[in-house]
Structure 1
Amino acid sequence: MKLSDSKHDGVEDFGENLKVLPTSDQIKELQTILRDRNTTRSDFKFYADRLIRLVIEESLNQLPFSKCVVTTPTGASYQGLKYQKGNCGVSIVRSGEAMEQGLRDCCRSIRIGKILVESDADTHEARVVYARFPEDISRRKVLLMYPIMSTGNTVIKAVAVLKEHNVAEENIILSNLFCTPFAAKSVMAAYPQMQILTSEVHHVAPNHFGQKYFGTD
């Protein structure tokens, strides 16, 4: 599956490190259901989980692979691929936790850390309340999970914490469902070497269940 080039999809160009899932009827249907104010809470969760799985699957495609040879049950050799060691997930609590199961469904033994970032009610300034990572996170590729970005402030703060733990900017991939153009610009300006994979860059946020289920910055 080829990722969309924003310059050719009617979306502003945010740089080569922001990738958008290619538009398909299935993805457009999922996005439509998640934005529909008449969608029930149970339906929202079901279809959000489907979209999360698609985003996680494509995020994993951005991780490095190495060639390998395995022997089939018939004794033949098969030229294949395997993930290079040193990958982990980090969810931004609480909304990012909704994406953890999708990652575990694809990589059941992957280690997952957490960051809790809160925004000041008056100034909207983000501050880190809690962070827990694998001890060797500085040597790992990190899938940072955060479903909805409105301003990008929470992600910017979370990435700053990862960099404080010596994670290289180019080793971070943000897995995201929806982000606004403002958030995309803000995050890419702050961390131009980080990759962002999202299903859609749009001004309109998901419906009220999305705000309750995921939260937003």
Structure 2
Amino acid sequence: MIADRDLDGCSNQIKVLQPTNNVRELQTQIRDKTTPRDRFVFAADRLIRLTVEAGLTLLPYVECNVTTPHGFPYQGLYHQPGNCGVAIMRSGEAMEKGLRECCKSMRIGKILVTTDEETGVASVCYLKLPADIANRKVLLLYPIIKSGDTCTKAIEKLLDNGVAQENILLLNLFASHEGARSLSKEFPGMTILTTEMSEIDIPTNFGRRYFGTD
């Protein structure tokens, strides 16, 4: 289940996964510094899958009529065509597997944002998006939101390529209050879905642990 999170009047924009025992256990394994890498990746993949599944419920559906193997009519639902994923490299690429497991044919673009060590200024240095992305709903993949600067640069590029804010769904695992608040105020039409918002500790080493580069 998903609950709206009221953060400075942004309750309809920020959504948080229900903190079930299952979700909290996965979050605990990811946060625990003693978790071996193989168990870390396993827990991360499970939490990502839960996040993607929840995110898919926020996309538009269309009604359809099908016939069952026993010949009975069934009125069901299909995803409305026109969705794509965009991973913010590199940690966002960890979420591609979960998205492909749920939507095998979904196209996935890439955005690489780097930060200058001297100035602290973030900039986009690589971009590969579907040519018709302006006509698509975009699932933006990025597991950790701290200041929100990286996501800001990526979202600005999506807007530059004609994507409407209302068509952007940012899928995230851990977000700081500061980062989520900054993004929601700068892009009021966008939706953020996360599993946890924290004022204290964000696992910023997620990507390094996931890919084994820490």
The answer to whether residue 4 in structure 2 is matched with residue 5 in structure 1 is yes
Shift of 1:168: 0.4
Give the aligned partner of residue 31 of structure 1: 27
Judge conservation of contact 2:91–2:207 (CA < 8 Å) in 1. Answer: no
1:180-199 correspondence runs (5 A): 180-199=176-195
1:201-212 correspondence runs (5 A): 201-202=197-198, 203-206=200-203, 208=205, 210=206, 212=208
Please list every run of at least 4 consecutive aligned residues from structure 1 whose deviation after the TM superposition is greater than 2 angstroms: 11-15
The answer to whether residue 71 in structure 2 is matched with residue 95 in structure 1 is no
Structure 1 CA distance, aligned partners of 2:9 and 2:32?
27
Query: What are the Cα deviations for residues 24-54 of structure 1, in whole angstroms up to 9, with x where unaligned?
Result: 0000111111111111111111100000000
Judge conservation of contact 1:6–1:13 (CA < 8 Å) in 2. Answer: no
**What is the RMSD of the two structures over their aligned residues, measured on CA atoms?**
1.6
Judge conservation of contact 1:96–1:214 (CA < 8 Å) in 2. Answer: no
1:56-95 correspondence runs (5 A): 56-95=52-91
Judge conservation of contact 1:151–1:182 (CA < 8 Å) in 2. Answer: yes
Structure 1 CA distance, aligned partners of 2:47 and 2:73?
35
Shift of 1:23: 1.1
Q: What is the number of residues matched between the two proteins? A: 210
* Structure 1: 5+ residue stretches without partners: none
Shift of 1:189: 1.1
Partner AA of 1:43 in structure 2: R
Partner AA of 1:142 in structure 2: V
Query: Secondary structure of 1:4's match?
Result: strand
1:159 alignment partner, one of 144, 155, 158: 155
Judge conservation of contact 1:179–1:200 (CA < 8 Å) in 2. Answer: yes
Structure 2 CA distance, aligned partners of 1:158 and 1:195?
15
* Structure 2: 5+ residue stretches without partners: none
Shift of 1:179: 0.7
Partner AA of 2:179 in structure 1: A
The answer to whether residue 125 in structure 2 is matched with residue 129 in structure 1 is yes
Shift of 1:123: 2.0
Query: What are the Cα deviations for residues 148-202 of structure 1, in whole angstroms up to 9, with x where unaligned?
Result: 0111000000000000000001000000000100100111111011000000001
Partner AA of 2:69 in structure 1: P
2:170 alignment partner, one of 157, 168, 174: 174
1:15-26 correspondence runs (5 A): 15-26=11-22
Shift of 1:61: 0.8
TM-score (structure 1 length as normaliser): 0.92
More displaced 10-residue stretch of structure 1: 30-39 or 77-86: 30-39
Give the aligned partner of residue 115 of structure 2: 119
Identical positions, percent: 49
More displaced 10-residue stretch of structure 1: 161-170 or 32-41: 32-41
Shift of 1:12: 6.9
Shift of 1:206: 2.3
Query: Secondary structure of 2:87's match?
Result: strand
Partner AA of 2:163 in structure 1: V
Judge conservation of contact 2:8–2:181 (CA < 8 Å) in 1. Answer: no
